[in-house]
Amino acid sequence: MRTTEVSLRDENDLAGQLVDMRVWLDRYRYEPSTFTYFFLDPGMKIRVTFKIDGEAEAFAQEFGGSLLDATLATDQLIAV
């Protein structure tokens, strides 16, 4: 399992960016095991966990995110 983290800073289009992610996931038939979001000021942070590492890597690359260490993804809170 691998988790990606993506920061969304454009508060005016958070919904549109989430729709873009869903459309992209559907297009490639990727099925994340978890999809979590945290509201920040400004924006939002998204964490998406995939069972297949390659899917996590592709998602991070597509949306300008990063791959999290397994410990960070499960044990630590987001520092705001």
Per-residue pLDDT band at 11 (split at 50, 70, 90):
confident
**33 residue type, one letter:** S
pLDDT of residue 1: 92
Question: What string of H, E and C letters represents the secondary structure of 19-41?
Answer: HHHHHHHHHHCCCCCEEEEEECC
Res. 76: pLDDT tops 80: no
pTM: 0.84
pLDDT of residue 10: 83
Class of domain 2-70: alpha beta
What tens digit of pLDDT does each residue of 12-49 get? Answer: 888 899 999 999 999 999 999 999 999 888 889 999 99
Per-domain residue ranges of the chain: 2-70
